[in-house]
Chain A
């Protein structure tokens, strides 16, 4: 009898332990979707070799949004980045379609609407948009395309996939907009790509997906809106659940006198550190590493300021060569430091002697930017100035992110923006809402440990940042 009791107790213990593990698993999944970073295989495989850099560079490029146009002309359905359709469409481009686009010449579009981007996206199609025009050189380098054929299209800004246009079952029709002209390509649907009927089904059934928020093309509802591309929700009930973010300087590089060797390891790398002179700032809030060529300042709020002393030295080169240098700089330092977010290229500016690449942290399709509370300016997470030979200047807020323990539901309804408490700071938007773009981003004040969602309202004259008010606020 006593043995039976013991067995029952043992079984109960095992059951309780199993329940505990299950509960931990549920909590883990809720707070940190994805594979725990320490066990991610790719982290162990990374090296600095050019082929590895090209491979990981693909992680720095992602569409700003993928949307389905239902053919009504008024509605566009925005697919969330964690939706399987988003991944599948992007996979097709990275694995197959980009290669074909860069290898062939565009077809001649015979119909008038084929030259008009705004007419095209009113029809039934899937629209892929980048934040800014992306040089095709960079895409060619990332996908490892070695053809000597010079592509007709120099930049890729937006792409519309028309699965029903070609009657051939193994072909898809793509219209690519470079910001000025529209180019038509007919590409082959290769093995491993989404099938044509999958694309058609995605377009026809998008309204049945409860997770997809329809966005209204504002000009169709308010003809006085000047920007034909302005999208916003006119559905009073549309809302989005957004987690509050905990933002920290990575533990491994917290600035103190006992941690200098580690900081050196992470931020300088073996090739530099032997030659560097190190010195703490007067107030102890920063440390400076320097040699005859470069200076690196690291502050206690995680801000890294790297400068090559002779900025004009080096050949400007092609944009993809400078991009390679920028990505190598970031990639060799982010490993094991930055967790929970992607780093995505958001802009490229070409200067006389070099290129300026802007990167942002991104989580759940939302950029995370840094706000300077003194002058209320909002900055990107990383700015890298580089040329073919080297990186010459870097400004980088090195932060790591995780979900705080709470979230809120935020209204996406366009008119709720104007009920925001902070809108009074921007009277010109109320008087003349000639809005160029509306988006939602996270903003983290420079020395804060918290990032919250903000509306970004872009007008011709200024960008307004309004902290979103949750349903419970």
Chain B
């Protein structure tokens, strides 16, 4: 009887130990990530430097320059600007990938940072399309940026303005040292709705299938 009891206790102990180990792993990872991130931010001097620079403050300070309808700039920090649909299907959708390459006149140095701001025209005003991106200039090719475009239809273009400038120049920006790039992107409404219907149909199928397997 004692043996049986001891056996049952051992099995229970193994189960508890297994559960503890698996929980402990998850917990450890979670705490570790938090610690490292916090530690990095507060111990790093760059954090304080970044505090000096603020995207919002720059936009506010240079709004008349950034959103001037007639502005023309000659300087080029990025080139080969391409917007591609970012979809695993060939159906059109609103997700796009922005790709570009650093111009030859931009020196490749880790300390060199280019700021890219994306705005979209809404009536007579510009709205922020995505949060600004800071590009470390260590490679000519710029990593793709995901952008979700809001407007659909041939009468409803996505009028995008991209403002590019070196971060170091933020205190003294002018038409001579910023790059302004305007582009209009049209999303075909027929294809978009077809894609949406298809997605809805896929969801419905998934729902039906999940019911079947339950």
Contact = CB atoms under 8 A, between A and B. Distances in A.
A431 B90 contact: no
A132 interface: no
Contact of B138 (A222, A223, A418): A418
Contact of A418 (B87, B97, B139): B139
A430 interface: yes
Contacts of A272: none
A292 interface: no
Interface string A58-83: 00000000000011101100000000
B108 interface: yes
B28 to A, nearest CB: 13
A234 interface: yes
A72 B191 CA distance: 14
A279 to B, nearest CB: 55
Contacts of B80: 222-224
Contacts of B84: 74, 220-221
Contacts of A207: 88-89
B140 interface: yes
A74 B101 CA distance: 18
Contacts of A72: 85, 87, 90
Contacts of A224: 79-80, 101, 140-141
A71 B97 CA distance: 18
A222 B139 contact: no
B99 interface: yes
A430 B88 contact: no
A40 B66 CA distance: 71
Contacts of B139: 415, 418, 430, 433
B143 interface: yes
A148 interface: no
B144 interface: yes
A415 B140 contact: no
Main secondary structure of the interface of B (DSSP, over half): strand
A316 to B, nearest CB: 46
A425 to B, nearest CB: 15
Interface residues on B, range: 10 to 19
A71 B89 CA distance: 10
A221 B138 contact: no
A430 B144 contact: no
A161 to B, nearest CB: 18
Contact of B90 (A70, A418, A432, A433): A70
B82 A223 contact: yes
A222 B108 CA distance: 18
Interface string A386-409: 000000000000000000000000
A214 interface: yes
B7 to A, nearest CB: 13
Given A222-B82, A223-B80, A234-B97, A214 B141 contact: no
Contacts of B140: 224, 431-433
B90 A221 contact: no
A75 B108 CA distance: 29
A234 B88 contact: no
Nearest to A220: B84
A415 B143 CA distance: 6
B67 to A, nearest CB: 29
A222 B102 CA distance: 11
B198 to A, nearest CB: 12
Contacts of B97: 221, 234
Interface in B77-97: 79-80, 82, 84-85, 87-90, 97
Contacts of A433: 139-141
A221 B140 CA distance: 13
Given A70-B90, A207-B89, A214-B88, A221 B108 contact: no
Given A234-B97, A431-B108, A222 B90 contact: no
Contacts of B88: 75, 207, 214
Nearest to A429: B139
A301 B97 CA distance: 50
Interface string A426-441: 0000111100000000
Interface of A: 70-72, 74-75, 207, 214, 220-225, 234, 415, 418, 430-433
- Counting from the closest, the 10 A-B pairs by CB-CB distance are A221-B99, A415-B143, A207-B88, A223-B80, A72-B90, A224-B101, A234-B144, A222-B141, A224-B80, A207-B89
Interface of B: 79-80, 82, 84-85, 87-90, 97, 99, 101, 108, 138-141, 143-144
28 contacts: A70-B90, A71-B90, A72-B90, A75-B88, A207-B89, A214-B88, A220-B82, A220-B84, A221-B82, A221-B97, A222-B82, A223-B80, A223-B101, A224-B79, A224-B101, A224-B140, A225-B141, A234-B97, A234-B144, A415-B141, A415-B143, A430-B108, A430-B138, A430-B139, A431-B140, A432-B140, A433-B140, A433-B141
